[in-house]
Structure 1
């Protein structure tokens, strides 16, 4: 009953976590790759914004928007295209690479090499559950409500995020679109429509006609249009078709898995204890019967030898008396007396030795212990034990059902592991609270990764935190203040664990992505591949 209650509790936790479905942090992270696309005229030295829309990065320097957003700039060579990122103080000009009015798509390249944007990940398709979505962009009505002057659009500002639900896919205006209810307005055009994991489902384009009132339904150019457009222009975007699950859901699933494994371990231990109790009882009964039989046999032999000894002794006495009565007797009679006496002595000595060496009752416990020890040796787990020391070269494979991925690569991971926490003979891992970890703070990516490895279960995990520009700058400053100890340095795991604590303290409470891998020795993996 207790195990059944635990299973129901785990399932309930999983259902509750599933209701959370998505993490707002993913939409926030994706929004950092959304830009304001400004059409600019020049009056002498002064740059004057004419109108604007939105766009999003598909590579660090290439941006997707709507064709109608840049239409004026294509028809008037006095107008230029400006790109204003959501973070930082830098803006840049862009040049059109491709325009497709048929499906309202355009591709722009940033001309300033100093500006690089975090590319958004493209979803594998529209989910069948028609779940919650977010529209991200720069609606003009929000600018007006904030009292912003038109010149203020040159300043970096976070994009506006609105939420709604998918209403279906349908062709409209000669191209495939997605119908949704996440409010958009003028200025949102070209911005992304995101799923709950911050992945692009479409490019927002226009709203439904609602007799002059705000439209309740909105249209985005679908992936059926976007992906062929990008590939036709030699861009292979980041795509991810895995189910969108929240970190809460993964944590609930991990707790359920842990509880199930612990219940299985307890059941196995109880079964083993029952087996040992039965084995101990059988061994005791067997030992008792064997010892009693050996004692009985020894006592019977001792009795026989005793009788032989008595008989031989009696014979020796009789022969001795006859020799005294007949001193003239021959030597043969004397020899017989000596033989009878020898037999009597040997029989008596044998009787004493057998009686002394017969097994005692304490022998029963010794034999039970020996039988149980042999059972332990022959009845353990089959297969090679898991190495808790250095495992040599390992190949680690992603476990999708235990992972949450929005844009990270999912290739196999290969590394060599040593018992002192040295990876590949070069990279030292830190030890904190019994866990091996290494914090990575790259200079060319807006994400901090925390890698952990558990030698007992051979589980490798990467938690990725997608951070803002200011957060990444703070993490890089903390990281630059320490130099990780090299492999082999005395107390290196503890030292690195303390050094990394500063970066870890700055991270959000939970990651945006989690990649879980199971690892096996490279030789084993190769043998499995050959089969």
Structure 2
């Protein structure tokens, strides 16, 4: 009995210590869902329109929307039917026309008759083979459960999300599909299957028929089919092949990296201190020997000259006794010179206090000859007084959701101007600019540290209400032009604080660029908007 209890305790402990499965970032799923639409096949009875059937689609750029071929098949077969597209929020429904249909792999491309400003979804260039997934769409059974009528379907409504897991790749006879367990129903057809970063890994198409207690599985058309279909129709999709990483993981890595760097700097400082102490000891030992030798030589010379003086004094005394004036004069002069020389040799010998002074001087001269350790040549300034920098994306420190530039070029001036047209605000020792575009549901916050050579771009993918609030806050001030004084830069930073209050604490995307002297021309960026 005790053994069974012990085993149960160990089992529960193992469950508690085992890592929890990674969960999708809800903010990323919500951001992707804003680019998902309801695709409706519309019939007419006089002036009245009514839904015949519906499915799901998602934006891939411009006014283009992807869905399943079978979703629009009725409109293809019956020219009296139209296709309508209803966004997830805000705008009213618009009509769409078919650009291309591929029945072989159940894909269709639509073009809206009026732009809705839909955010295009990012497609994973390297989809995971296992893990959690999220299906997004408009299942008919949910509409029925909510009692939605025909007119309700034409109103903007958020899509339904359902989570599950990948069950592997299972190519059908004609096209490549992936198998998953995220529940979908009639109406979900044509909707995206997303990874944890909100990137498309497939287009939901159909499911298995469940008999009794049999498990249900669902099929999505893989990106191996989707990407060639888009490119064949002149759509350049937003593509991202980087691993999906959470901001929490990224920030933990930043903390670990900072701690490791601090330890490395402490170890380096300790090694430098030890090397300096060893060098100081060796220098002191050498100089001490030199000083002791000089003192010994001075004392020996003084003693020798004193002996010479005594001998010369004796000669002078002998000349005095012999009344030899010449001999007395020579002896006396020699004795005087020897005594003076002895005194000079004694007084001029180096003192012990000179050891510290000479050690300090020797070390200072050696440091000046070596120059600063690890010094990097400063980049050259352009004729306008700005510094040309080439910034390279550091993927190890970035969370990439969209399809950013890997390399960008900027012109930075010391007064906080980038590319001669965008003034940054200055606060707490950092340069910051907040961009609120009028035609995109995203706010970007760029920060630049010229001393560290680091440019950080953070993007917040917002819903309609949050974007309205951010645009209202942006409309309350006018950003200064390049060349503004420091006071204007500080005021810009204060003005931008109102926008920061309107956005979430964490961004959806964080891009970290390492900037250095420009070697070659790269695409301009960091100062648009």
TM over 0.5: yes
SS at match of 1:261: helix
Q: After superposition, give the CA deviation of every residue in 1:437-482 in whole Å (9 maximum; x if it has no partner).
A: 2212222222111112223331222111111122122112211212
Question: Taking structure 1 as reference, are residues 507 and 335 closer, same or farther at Cα in structure 2, changes over 3 Å only?
Answer: farther
Partner of 1:270: 270
1:83-232 superposed matches below 5 A = 83-113=85-115, 115-128=116-129, 130-172=130-172, 174-211=174-211, 216-232=216-232
Partner of 1:66: 68
CA–CA separation in structure 2 for the residues paired with 1:394 and 1:468? 35
Q: Does 1:237 align with 2:237?
A: yes
Question: Taking structure 1 as reference, are residues 452 and 214 closer, same or farther at Cα in structure 2, changes over 3 Å only?
Answer: farther
SS at match of 1:450: strand
SS at match of 2:433: strand
Q: Does 1:416 align with 2:417?
A: no
Partner of 2:352: 361
1:138 CA displacement: 0.6
Count of residues in Structure 1 that have an aligned counterpart in Structure 2: 501
SS at match of 1:171: coil
Q: Does 1:455 align with 2:450?
A: yes
1:203 CA displacement: 0.9
Question: Taking structure 1 as reference, are residues 523 and 110 closer, same or farther at Cα in structure 2, changes over 3 Å only?
Answer: closer
Question: Taking structure 1 as reference, are residues 426 and 73 closer, same or farther at Cα in structure 2, changes over 3 Å only?
Answer: closer
Structure 1 stretch displaced more, 18-27 or 347-356: 18-27
Structure 1 stretch displaced more, 15-24 or 453-462: 15-24
**8 Å contact from structure 1 (residues 17, 252) kept in 2:** no
Partner of 2:424: 429
- Bigger helix fraction: 1
CA–CA separation in structure 2 for the residues paired with 1:297 and 1:321? 36
Over aligned residue pairs, what C-alpha RMSD do you find? 2.6
SS at match of 2:55: strand
**8 Å contact from structure 2 (residues 390, 519) kept in 1:** no
**8 Å contact from structure 2 (residues 208, 217) kept in 1:** yes
Question: Taking structure 1 as reference, are residues 243 and 361 closer, same or farther at Cα in structure 2, changes over 3 Å only?
Answer: same
1:487 CA displacement: 2.5
Partner of 2:318: 318
CA–CA separation in structure 1 for the residues paired with 2:378 and 2:450? 7
Structure 1 stretch displaced more, 338-347 or 212-221: 212-221
CA–CA separation in structure 2 for the residues paired with 1:314 and 1:92? 129
SS at match of 1:167: strand
Partner of 1:518: 514
Partner of 2:261: 261
1:315 CA displacement: 2.0
Question: Taking structure 1 as reference, are residues 368 and 82 closer, same or farther at Cα in structure 2, changes over 3 Å only?
Answer: same
Partner of 1:329: none
Q: After superposition, give the CA deviation of every residue in 1:252-307 in whole Å (9 maximum; x if it has no partner).
A: 11111111111111111111222222222222222222211111111111111122
SS at match of 1:506: coil
SS at match of 2:259: helix
Q: Does 1:344 align with 2:346?
A: no
Q: For structure 2, which runs of at least 5 residues remain unmatched after alignment?
A: 1-16, 523-529
**8 Å contact from structure 1 (residues 388, 455) kept in 2:** no
SS at match of 2:511: strand
CA–CA separation in structure 1 for the residues paired with 2:520 and 2:18? 39
**8 Å contact from structure 2 (residues 117, 439) kept in 1:** no
**8 Å contact from structure 1 (residues 429, 496) kept in 2:** yes
1:389 CA displacement: 12
Question: Taking structure 1 as reference, are residues 212 and 189 closer, same or farther at Cα in structure 2, changes over 3 Å only?
Answer: farther
**8 Å contact from structure 1 (residues 22, 245) kept in 2:** no
Structure 1 stretch displaced more, 379-388 or 431-440: 379-388
**8 Å contact from structure 2 (residues 415, 485) kept in 1:** no
Partner of 1:32: 34
1:195 CA displacement: 0.9
Q: After superposition, give the CA deviation of every residue in 1:94-119 in whole Å (9 maximum; x if it has no partner).
A: 01111112211111100114x22111
CA–CA separation in structure 1 for the residues paired with 2:478 and 2:389? 27
CA–CA separation in structure 1 for the residues paired with 2:398 and 2:19? 15
CA–CA separation in structure 1 for the residues paired with 2:308 and 2:137? 114
**8 Å contact from structure 2 (residues 456, 512) kept in 1:** yes
CA–CA separation in structure 1 for the residues paired with 2:289 and 2:428? 54
**8 Å contact from structure 1 (residues 18, 245) kept in 2:** no
SS at match of 1:172: coil
CA–CA separation in structure 1 for the residues paired with 2:28 and 2:190? 19
Structure 1 stretch displaced more, 347-356 or 184-193: 347-356
CA–CA separation in structure 2 for the residues paired with 1:145 and 1:525? 58
Partner of 1:294: 294
Decide which of 495, 502, 517 is 1:506's aligned counterpart. 502
CA–CA separation in structure 1 for the residues paired with 2:470 and 2:99? 35
Structure 1 stretch displaced more, 358-367 or 342-351: 342-351
**8 Å contact from structure 1 (residues 22, 244) kept in 2:** no
1:522 CA displacement: 1.7
CA–CA separation in structure 2 for the residues paired with 1:103 and 1:213? 30
Structure 1 stretch displaced more, 292-301 or 335-344: 335-344
Partner of 1:43: 45
**8 Å contact from structure 2 (residues 379, 387) kept in 1:** no
Question: Taking structure 1 as reference, are residues 193 and 303 closer, same or farther at Cα in structure 2, changes over 3 Å only?
Answer: same
Question: Taking structure 1 as reference, are residues 463 and 203 closer, same or farther at Cα in structure 2, changes over 3 Å only?
Answer: same
**8 Å contact from structure 1 (residues 38, 51) kept in 2:** yes
1:16 CA displacement: 10
